[in-house]
Amino acid sequence: MLKYKDQLGNIIKLDKKPLRIISIVPSQSEFLWDIGLRNELVGITKFCVHPAEMFKSIERVGGTKNLNINKIRALKPDLIIGNKEENEQADIELLQKEFNVWMSDIYTFDDAFEMMNGLGDIFDKKNQAKKIVDEIKRTLPEVENILKGQKTAYFIWYKPYMCAAKNTFIDNVLNYIGLKNAIGNLKRYPKLDDEELKQIKPEFCLLSSEPFPFKVKHIKELRDKLPEAKIVIVDGEIFSWYGSRLLHFTEYVKQLKKMLDV
């Protein structure tokens, strides 16, 4: 009997290395594919779009927060990989009654490294996972504090406006690259009305490409409310995916620095 502890402290007991895996978190699906579990992955979500080959070839089991439980049952997974924030607690509790479920809980880069190494251990892919983690760790310091303390609002939703506050992975990312979260006194993903936006007076507004797909028209609309702020659309996957997509993080942040002209 093999025993593993997930990031919520749950103990997962396995008779053998899992051969049928369902991943219900996009960033973790990409990571599992990248460490070589291409035959073992039998289910992903409709948002697991990277890489394209995986998205096209693997059965989809609904959205991260709208899982098709019957389809999951039909696929008979040995192990399901989820995340506390991305997946609904009720869905996870239901799945835990029938299947082995390994949950991540990620707020920092170190949490992400722990997740990747932990999954590498479960699937006998330690070397592959370590190679990815080591490369991310090697390049990350190049962008530590590369942006110099500008007060920044990171937008994830429109109507109502919602921004990432503290106790989020995005907040950790902003702080690491040197930005000051304009709503760092708040928690999670608060809604902000026009007056509240004006009160926080952000110098930068970063409009994420996901989960809401901000466009140029939204820049124009927000500029009317915050005429002194520099407003740009950013790649939400870079800021919020905590698997092997972090291999692209350093280069993207260097480009963002040029984009923001700081």
> How many angstroms separate the CA atoms of 258 and 72, rounded?
44
Domain count for the chain, please give it: 2
> Which residues contact residue 17 at a Cβ distance below 8 angstroms, ignoring those fewer than 6 apart?
2, 122, 123, 124
Q: Residues 16-74: pLDDT tens digits?
A: 999 999 999 999 999 999 999 999 999 999 999 999 999 999 999 999 999 999 999 99
Q: Residues 165-195: pLDDT tens digits?
A: 999 999 999 999 999 999 999 999 999 999 9
- Do 122 and 170 lie in one domain? The reply is no
Evaluate whether 33 touches 41 at the Cβ level (below 8 Å).
yes
- Do 113 and 232 lie in one domain? The reply is no
Q: Residues 93-134: pLDDT tens digits?
A: 999 999 999 999 999 999 999 999 999 999 999 999 999 999
In this prediction the pTM is: 0.96
- Do 220 and 97 lie in one domain? The reply is no
When pLDDT is averaged across residues 124-147 and rounded to a whole number, the result is: 98
Q: Residues 190-242: pLDDT tens digits?
A: 999 999 999 999 999 999 999 999 999 999 999 999 999 999 999 999 999 99
- Do 107 and 206 lie in one domain? The reply is no
Among 139, 157, 192, give the residue marking a domain's end. 139
